[in-house]
Amino acid sequence: MRRFFVLCAAGFLPLNAGVFDDGTKNVALTVGSGSGYNSNYTIVGITANYFALNGLSVGLGYRGWFGGSPTINEVDLPVTYYVPLKKNLRPYAGGFYRHSFISDGFDDYDTYGARAGISYVKGSGYVSIGWAQEWYSRDNGDKSSRGYPEISAGASF
């Protein structure tokens, strides 16, 4: 049990996080696919993050759902913590709020979510792979939540 507490405490030490340092900014691109409203979509997104503390980012993102109807545009506010365990591999966990704008007379809606995964860091860039789970703030037919894999690539400056 003592080892568990030591490992948990080590994750909060202000170790040098490199591309995830305090004051660093980064931009990440995301590409994926999704389905909804009886359509299949290609999802393309961009997120800008600012590291308020070593390893802790706050951001603003946009995702567009293309190739289906209705048109879906999303804005999200993510908060993510990158655990400083190894120089090139950084586990991460975070949460987000997302607002979805839906065309063609459909109601807009909000979701809240959590994500976790791992980032591979090389120089000032990184690639992340993980899982996101989001919960709908209103009734969405037979779904109250959905989960999906996430893959993104980013560069810090």
- What's the pLDDT tens digit per position in 2-34? 333 333 333 333 334 478 899 999 999 988 888
Range(s) of the domain holding residue 50: 22-156
Domain presence at residue 45: yes
- The CATH code of the domain that includes 57 is 2.40.160.20
For the cut 90, the answer to whether the pLDDT of residue 97 exceeds it is yes
Domain presence at residue 3: no
Per the CB < 8 A criterion, the answer to whether 115 and 93 are in contact is: yes
Contacts of 107-115 with CB under 8 Å at 24 or more apart are: 107/138, 109/136, 109/137, 109/138, 109/140, 110/136, 110/137, 110/138, 111/135, 111/136, 111/137, 112/137, 115/78, 115/80, 115/150
For the cut 50, the answer to whether the pLDDT of residue 156 exceeds it is yes
Into how many domains does the chain fold? 1
- The pLDDT of residue 139: 62
Domain presence at residue 85: yes
Percentage with pLDDT > 90 across the chain: 64
Cα 12 to chain centroid distance, Å, stands at 20
Cα dihedral across residues 89, 91, 97, 101: positive or negative = positive
The span from the CA of 103 to the CA of 71, in Å, is 5
